[in-house]
């Protein structure tokens, strides 16, 4: 069920013209939710906690990269950066 929801979300994100700043905000919110889940839930194995920690770190790094590209696009970055800010579609 969750996999289906995530797949549908991926399709929506791919087809809409969402900016990198919004994507970065979504990644940060997801990372915070994952931290809360890890802190509140009991019974995580060491491997599962490590995987979730790596996912959190990846989400935060991705958000930082998205914000850096979005800020660069505002300052006259490359055409690839500008396209990424318009939803990631190169034209």
What is the tens place of the pLDDT at every residue in 21-79? 999 999 999 999 999 999 999 999 999 999 999 999 999 999 999 999 999 876 654 54
Helix (H, G, I), strand (E, B) or coil at 64: helix
pLDDT exceeds cutoff 70 at 1: yes
Please tell me whether the overall predicted TM-score, pTM, comes out greater than 0.85 for this model.
no
Burial of residue 85 (number of CB atoms within 10 Å: 0-12, 13-18, 19+): buried
Local confidence band at 5 (pLDDT 50, 70, 90 cut-offs): confident
Q: Where are the domains of the chain?
A: 18-85
- Cα–Cα distance for residue pair 18/9, rounded to 1 Å: 12
Helix (H, G, I), strand (E, B) or coil at 8: helix
Buried b (16+ CB within 10 A) or exposed e, 9-38: eeeeeeeeebbbbebbebbbebbeeeeeee
pLDDT for 12 equals 86
């Amino acid at each position: 069920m969750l996999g289906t929801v995530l797949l549908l979300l991926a399709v929506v994100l791919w087809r809409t013209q969402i900016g990198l700043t919004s994507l970065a905000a979504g990644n940060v919110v997801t990372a915070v939710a994952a931290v809360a889940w890890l802190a509140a839930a009991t019974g995580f194995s060491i491997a599962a906690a490590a995987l979730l920690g790596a996912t959190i770190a990846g989400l935060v790094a991705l958000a930082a990269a998205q914000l850096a590209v979005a800020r660069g696009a505002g300052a006259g970055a490359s055409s690839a950066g500008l396209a990424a800010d318009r939803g990631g579609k190169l034209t």
